[in-house]
Amino acid sequence: MDAFYASVATRDRPELADVPVIVGGGTRGVVLSANYPAREYGVRSGMPATRARRLCPQAVVVSPEHEVFGTVSAAVAETFRQVTPVVEMLSIDEAFLDVSGSVRRLGAPSDIAEQLRSRIHDEQGITCSVGVAASVSVAKLASKRAKPDGVLVVPPGSVTTFLHPLDVGELYGVGEKTRAMLHRLGLITVGDVAHTPLRTLQRALGHGLGTHLHELAWGQDRREVLARNAPAFGAITGDAGADPDKSMGAQETFGRDVDDREVVLRELLKLTAGVTGRMRTAGVAGRTVTLTVRFADFTTLTRSRTMPEATDVTVDLYRTAVGLYDALGLQRARLRLVGVRVEGLAPRGTVHHQHLLGEREHGWSDADRAVDRATRRFGSGVVRPASLFG
């Protein structure tokens, strides 16, 4: 995301679009983020607030809303997962996506990048920049070069042309100390590293680091994208200490505010079906359902209910979500966003279902798994609840 915290903090304040904005800091704190106009004055995240105000005294300082940041990040992550299940959230505002399995369905990687950027802008009101490449490290560098609000594609045949003129400090994972050490050795650009014999690098830097940097300099990054949530994500979302590996959720920002219960319930069903599908793929079940609603004035409410048994059955979790929604008694309240999260996840093999007398041998759980098999074979959306057609 581009200047994520600042973008979220100002997205509904158009009067701040071209004004230097600093998020956080207070009287004695540090800057959480700064928008691009503020960065032109040298303001950076992590900088003491007093220094930031000296550099840019005309900046508008806004307080961070951590729950809002977490909500937007979760929505963006869910958008990513609708493109590919292989999403590695590096942080609240950055991710790697392996889209190799999505090209046939969605088009070239560059097309997927534009689709994602357009959807995130439309749904969340913020911009992002995307780097497209055959390796993680080159894609990371390309995304930095694409900022703000752009896409940069580095085809396999252009990797060395792209990499070799860059400063060695640009290489993914090279910090200030390693950069300074390389500069002392006369290795200023990535091309310098690439054209230094491997054994010379290994003698100067150690076998492991020398080999790693040599491979990066030629765009030969062996690192694979691993599906995982952002580190310590529960803390930023304000989910009362929720463990990101023990919960799954999804949310949707409506194109316009909604006050129709049937529309809300259809969206809840769609979101719940998506979450439970991911749960079954991961082989987990959960007991606690959390509903999130955000009103037109951005006021947000969350309500949770814990069921007697853990489950991954769409109908069971959807019914619980509907009960939470109806219990709010919203009548004709206008909603901007609705979300569903299932918490307390555990491996499904450790969950034991108590069968009831007279219960059918095959039920909704079997139906869900039949839908999963059809989806894997024919693509998403081929089988869905009747209320979601049309």
Look up 94 and say whether it is catalytic: yes
Q: Is the dihedral of CA 380, 382, 384, 390 positive or negative?
A: positive
Q: How far is CA 352 from CA 247, 275, 306, 310, 355, in A?
A: 19, 21, 16, 8, 9
| 320 SS3 class | helix
Task: Mark residue 3 as left, alpha or beta (left: phi above 0; alpha: psi -120 to 50; beta: remaining).
Answer: left
Candidates 65, 94, 114, 170; catalytic one: 94
In degrees and rounded to multiples of 5, residue 35 shows phi and psi of -80, 175
What gap in Å lies between CA 198 and CA 202, rounded to an integer? 6
Residue 1: closest CA among 109, 65, 91: 91
Which pair of structure tokens corresponds to residue 320? Answer: 């619980």
In degrees and rounded to multiples of 5, residue 285 shows phi and psi of -135, 155
192 annotated to bind ligand: no
Residue 45: closest CA among 64, 73, 72, 68: 64
Which amino acids are annotated catalytic?
94
Known binding residues for Mg(2+): 93
Known binding residues: 93
